[in-house]
Structure 1
């Protein structure tokens, strides 16, 4: 499956320069080149741009929802090829897309892991699996390949002393997040990667136990960023600045307001957008996991995954430089100018 995905990547990227059709470059009243941005959402969840729009930070820019995604790599590929105007993914996936010559730039961090929000890997209560070596020949359910969950698994196995040949015998199985717990309980997979409400509800039901967490390996960290294409930034500098500033302010709003306030806003947004979805999951929201104020990006958040991908042989030494992958130029919290 991994080889097939990589084979599709050059085809997707070939359309990049011909895409980004919404970036007109013609200034609108107020100095913005664009006042509508296309994006993908998530069922039963609220993204920071959606929160920024609700709080009035994004005006006069409006969002245009074109559908939902459960895959970060797919989301940033959609942005790279002009199907959307922005997308977000695990920083390691951004490194790989940049290595494939996609002209993208990370502009703000949007999710991460901390003591409240983390990815846990769980086994059935009676499972004989106790550590990394027990995973040889076993199946681990993840939401997508080439992203956060896969990277954490492989790092866990490597730190557990497994050789590359042994790691290759651990099978990663793509399972929709809402079906992962059930797949574990039915024995279709041996380990389930769970986070957020899906993790909390599974633990409430009992019968499963943790094997390890991503924060056990890396500590608290911002794990993913939102990207724009370099062409979009060049053609729409004022829109870029307004969008990133609004996004960053929305991140900071969740970092400085109570859990109850955040949940109330999220429920209101989900109810108003009318997508026939269950808003119950947001009641379990605890934190975004974003490490820095307003989603300011730290070079180490990319360097960690550059080093890892080099060790894995997925990119060559020196092929990608952290400094080339991101910019904090448009984030007001990077300079302390946010008000």
Structure 2
């Protein structure tokens, strides 16, 4: 079996497993949400060690009115996060949009409600090699190893797209070995020579570059420009049963994203440091100074059709999704985003106020 087929099978198996768990959870973990006497709904979510997620920021900024957050632990990656949401272990999850399309194709009834991460000129994912590496172009990767955070997620899609654009055919791409490397270990694994190229993003990328000795092979921005890659999802039954809570969650996240987009970076760092320090989870805010941007390309995380359709088309082109199975409109909604539904002007601030464009 070719590498391409093995990767597709691995991703499909993981998401098929999520579907089985989803069906099993219908009468178990996916019970009705907890609603307090004041009408506040508890939303269970997963976090990220040493970093501040957007729900945590929105909560700290006081943007939620009808939502109370309950942290259930930290996620190891997007596929795990959306599987947890699909099975009812959590209420909301976030992942690469291509993985969400795959999850939907497996039969899970979930909907994307807001973008939450992506690539812009300040923050983007890159594929790096050592400065003195003989790897300088795509063809040099035939027979080599690339470290990515997980199979079936964004990095796999991006590297395969880049290899194809650079002229490698399917058989040649199949000879490029992808191996799973946790983001926290990516830099070390590359420097030790265990892989020839590694995907590094966000604060891990900045910290690695500060130490020097790495060379950028290509970046996500080179492929797609400024582009939101991932979104938060809810189960459709949760949305139906808790419409006010979902609406409040989305507007809070949208305003938190907008806050990061219009607030000086040193103020964001100070706020993130305070949140991490005060939540007392046995972690340090050492990664905070490397934060530059959430990378979301639209004001307030409004989902653009192309951010979903790109991956539907990609999966159809690669024979992993039946053409016409569903469209982007079947998978996402901007209904509750205040920067899309008319509540705020798209260019306004987190409270709808005018923002100085200068």
- Alignment partner, residue 322 of structure 1: 328
Q: Does 1:209 align with 2:215?
A: yes
Deviations along 1:31-73, one digit per CA (max 9) or x if unpaired, are 45xx211111111111110001101112442211111113101
- Alignment partner, residue 252 of structure 1: 258
Native 8 Å contact 1:91 1:223 kept in 2: yes
What does 1:148-227 align with in structure 2 at a 5 Å threshold? 148-227=154-233
What does 1:75-86 align with in structure 2 at a 5 Å threshold? 75-86=81-92
Return closer, same or farther for 1:4/1:155 CA change in 2, 3 Å cut-off. Answer: closer
Native 8 Å contact 2:29 2:87 kept in 1: no
CA drift at 1:136: 0.7
Native 8 Å contact 2:44 2:72 kept in 1: yes
What does 1:24-39 align with in structure 2 at a 5 Å threshold? 24=32, 28-32=36-40, 35-39=41-45
- The 2-side partners of 1:252 and 1:23 are apart by 32
CA drift at 1:11: 3.5
CA drift at 1:116: 0.7
Query: What secondary structure, in the 3-state scheme, does the structure 2 residue paired with 1:333 have?
Result: coil
- The 2-side partners of 1:20 and 1:131 are apart by 50
User: Under a length normalisation based on structure 1, what TM-score does the superposition of the two structures give?
Assistant: 0.95
Deviations along 1:200-256, one digit per CA (max 9) or x if unpaired, are 222222222111001011101011000001100001111111111111111111111
Task: Extract unaligned runs of 5+ from structure 2.
Answer: 1-5, 345-351, 353-358
Q: Does 1:120 align with 2:122?
A: no
Native 8 Å contact 1:31 1:238 kept in 2: no
Query: What secondary structure, in the 3-state scheme, does the structure 2 residue paired with 1:337 have?
Result: coil
Deviations along 1:63-114, one digit per CA (max 9) or x if unpaired, are 1111111310111111011010000001111111111111000000000101
2:315 is aligned, of 293, 300, 309, to 309
User: Under a length normalisation based on structure 2, what TM-score does the superposition of the two structures give?
Assistant: 0.90
- The 2-side partners of 1:89 and 1:159 are apart by 24
Native 8 Å contact 2:66 2:248 kept in 1: no
2:76 is aligned, of 64, 70, 74, to 70
Deviations along 1:285-305, one digit per CA (max 9) or x if unpaired, are 111111111111111111111
Query: What secondary structure, in the 3-state scheme, does the structure 1 residue paired with 2:203 have?
Result: helix
Query: What secondary structure, in the 3-state scheme, does the structure 1 residue paired with 2:217 have?
Result: strand
- The 2-side partners of 1:80 and 1:19 are apart by 13
- The 2-side partners of 1:89 and 1:158 are apart by 24
What does 1:3-82 align with in structure 2 at a 5 Å threshold? 3-17=9-23, 18=26, 21=29, 24=32, 28-32=36-40, 35-82=41-88
Note the aligned Cα RMSD (angstroms).
Answer: 1.7
Native 8 Å contact 1:23 1:235 kept in 2: no
Native 8 Å contact 1:89 1:226 kept in 2: yes
Query: What secondary structure, in the 3-state scheme, does the structure 1 residue paired with 2:52 have?
Result: coil
CA drift at 1:27: 6.1
Native 8 Å contact 2:33 2:42 kept in 1: no
Task: Extract unaligned runs of 5+ from structure 1.
Answer: none
Return closer, same or farther for 1:149/1:66 CA change in 2, 3 Å cut-off. Answer: same
Native 8 Å contact 1:40 1:69 kept in 2: yes
Q: Does 1:98 align with 2:98?
A: no
Native 8 Å contact 1:20 1:83 kept in 2: no
Query: What secondary structure, in the 3-state scheme, does the structure 1 residue paired with 2:22 have?
Result: coil
